[in-house]
């Protein structure tokens, strides 16, 4: 059926609620909106579902959530399994997140699958941890991470606590496609509770998660001694981070954690920010005011599902700097490896894992400590796969994983980005630096002086809707058909297409990366979760002004090329 036929199918279906039909009747004269909602189904991939809320095939709603869960349930019941078949479910502060979580539980219960459902909103890392804690076959978290308020999403995790791999995602998708119309199994929520198929969870697994996280502290005695004198500002940006982050910081010894009051409570409208994204310096506006009032030198911010951490630090001259994800990752790697070496706990075969678009400063730091730094495709599930490989083969000890997009993980208790653990480790790095009379920014400058000025620049091109997706695809096709020979006057020494596994040794991925004659690198890829094309540039030089100038020059050249494909 085409978009108009699907539109009328929804309007005529007895399974669609009157309120949703009324929403669809309101767009009866808007052909473009009808096409946007019905030209395709909301895609299900390794990141699950993510889309704009509303009625329609290409929107996030209870019908698509039930259908996705029906596909998951059919796949889980087809697998050989001993013991309890169970799924853990968590949800964040977004619109309908709690509704989608309960609806998912009702579909699973109808298939005889036990559900461990968090009784209140919880973060992504806590869901990942709980999936492993309860030995579940899979996990679900209802979230759209740091997307704008009109979005929500549905992410599926596997028994190892990481996001599903392509093989499982494809199998789930096959089962979703086998669901006819809106015909899903369904058990009323109260009956599922009475029959013991849905168990509400919270405190027990929370305490286990907190204990595991706190076990990663590097200097617990120093934290207890110096932590009480260090003021720290934190904002959960209206999301799930408030309780877990403040709990961990308090238990490690910090008594002056000041939370931005207007951003403390969960709120699906995220009223104080344009976007609840800790990558955006504007998300720190209210926190900066509080920092000046409390004379703090560091601000931490987590996104709505608390898997990404942003950090703002004060310089010695009193000005503030928003650290990049690469800078945060480099500080944490240096702090971890330095502490392990100083205490004799640096293992042989230590492993740090980073995405292919993340800083090469990590490689330089790891080389100094004789630790392997492995590069994987973008997507934190590839980092979680490396943790599982370490456990299976025993040839490496996982120490840390990160992505430039503000995702960090230590320890491996959870298997996805963990802003709660990262907040604790950044706070500890601040305490250690403060004990030496330094700020976190000073520590970063020490790292640059020792290893070189490695810096990066990232730009996203947002093109929503059917036309936007087509333009992004056209740009990638054009780059493959006619690879640039140079950028800003610097010749490209090597071009790698990550769609070719024979060339990369990695699974196929829609990424292009160019190595330049001057040692800089450029990568281009469509986002896997948002309607964006992303451009990454990395370079190094003997000084910060020199590397900043080089990055600006390369960005101008590559931006001009991409804009020609995307907007003309």
Q: Measured between alpha carbons, how far is 299 from 315 in angstroms, rounded to an integer?
A: 12
**Number of neighbouring beta carbons within 10 Å of residue 265:** 10
Residues near 334 by Cβ (< 8 Å), separated by ≥ 6? 365, 443, 447
Choice among 123, 145, 335, 405 that is catalytic: 145
CA distance 336 to 155: 30
CA gap 400, 437 in Å, rounded: 27
Task: Output phi, psi for 351, to 5 deg.
Answer: -130, 130
78 catalytic? Reply is no
Give the span between the Cα atoms of 39 and 57, in whole angstroms: 8
| 391 token code pair | 């456990």
Cα 568 to Cα 30, 289, 342, 487, distances in angstroms: 26, 42, 56, 20
- Element of type H or E holding 495: strand 490-497
Tokens describing residue 220: 């617990």
Pick from 198, 184, 193: nearest CA to 140: 198
CA 331 to chain centre: 19
Query: Are 117 and 140 within 8 A, CB to CB?
Result: no
Torsion, CA 145, CA 563, CA 33, CA 57, rounded to 10: -50
How far apart are the C-alpha atoms of 260 and 239, rounded to whole Å? 12
Of 286, 293, 249, nearest in space to 264 by CA: 286
Element (H, E) at 9: helix 3-12
What is d(CA 37, CA 430) in angstroms, rounded to the nearest whole number? 48
Catalytic positions are 145
């Amino acid at each position: 059926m085409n978009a108009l036929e699907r539109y009328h199918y929804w309007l005529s279906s007895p399974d669609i609620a009157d309120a949703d039909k009324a929403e669809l009747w309101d767009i009866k004269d808007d052909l473009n909106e009808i096409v946007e909602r019905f030209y395709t189904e909301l895609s299900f991939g390794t990141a699950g579902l993510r889309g704009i809320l509303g009625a329609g095939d290409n929107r996030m709603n209870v019908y698509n959530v039930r259908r996705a869960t029906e596909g998951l349930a059919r796949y889980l019941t087809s697998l050989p399994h001993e013991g309890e078949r169970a799924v853990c479910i968590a949800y964040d502060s977004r619109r309908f997140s709690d509704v989608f979580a309960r609806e998912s539980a009702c579909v699973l219960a109808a298939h005889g699958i036990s559900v461990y459902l968090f009784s209140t909103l919880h973060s992504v890392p806590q869901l990942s941890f709980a999936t492993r804690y309860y030995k579940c076959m899979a996990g679900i978290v209802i979230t759209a991470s740091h997307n704008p308020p009109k979005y929500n999403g549905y992410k599926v995790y596997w028994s190892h606590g990481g996001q599903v791999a392509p093989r499982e995602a494809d199998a789930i998708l096959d089962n979703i496609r086998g669901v006819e119309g809106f015909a899903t199994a369904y058990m009323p929520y109260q009956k599922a509770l009475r029959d013991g198929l849905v168990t509400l969870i919270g405190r027990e697994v929370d305490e286990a998660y907190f204990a595991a996280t706190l076990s990663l502290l590097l200097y617990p005695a120093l934290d207890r001694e110096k932590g009480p004198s260090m003021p720290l500002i934190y904002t959960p940006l209206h999301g799930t981070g408030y309780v877990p982050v403040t709990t961990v910081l308090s238990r490690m010894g910090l008594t002056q954690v000041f939370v931005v009051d207007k951003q403390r409570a969960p709120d699906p409208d995220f009223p104080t920010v344009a976007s609840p994204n800790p990558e955006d310096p504007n998300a720190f506006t209210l926190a900066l005011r509080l920092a000046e009032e409390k004379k703090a030198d560091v601000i931490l911010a987590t996104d709505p599902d608390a898997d990404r951490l942003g950090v703002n630090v004060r310089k010695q001259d009193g000005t503030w700097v928003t650290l990049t994800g690469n800078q945060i990752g480099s500080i944490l790697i240096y702090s971890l490896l330095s502490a392990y070496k100083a205490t004799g706990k640096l293992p042989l075969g230590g492993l740090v894992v980073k995405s292919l678009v993340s800083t090469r400063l990590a490689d330089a730091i790891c080389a100094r400590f004789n630790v392997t730094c492995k590069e994987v495709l973008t997507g934190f599930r590839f980092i979680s796969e490396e943790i599982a490989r370490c456990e299976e083969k025993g040839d490496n000890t996982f120490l840390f994983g990160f992505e430039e997009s503000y995702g960090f993980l230590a320890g491996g208790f959870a298997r996805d980005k963990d802003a709660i653990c990262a907040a604790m480790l950044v706070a500890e790095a601040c305490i250690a630096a403060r004990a030496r009379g330094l700020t976190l920014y000073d520590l970063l400058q020490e790292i640059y002086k020792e290893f070189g000025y490695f810096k990066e620049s990232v730009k996203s091109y947002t093109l929503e809707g059917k036309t936007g997706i087509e333009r992004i695809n056209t740009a990638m096709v054009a780059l493959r058909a006619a690879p640039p020979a140079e950028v800003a006057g610097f010749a490209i020494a090597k071009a790698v297409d990550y769609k070719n596994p024979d060339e990369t040794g990695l699974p196929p991925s829609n990424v292009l990366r160019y190595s330049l004659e001057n040692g800089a690198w450029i990568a281009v890829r469509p986002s896997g979760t948002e309607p964006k094309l992303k451009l990454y540039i990395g370079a190094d030089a003997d000084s910060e002004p020199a590397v900043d100038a080089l990055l600006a020059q390369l960005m101008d050249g590559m931006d001009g090329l991409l804009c020609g494909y995307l907007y003309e």
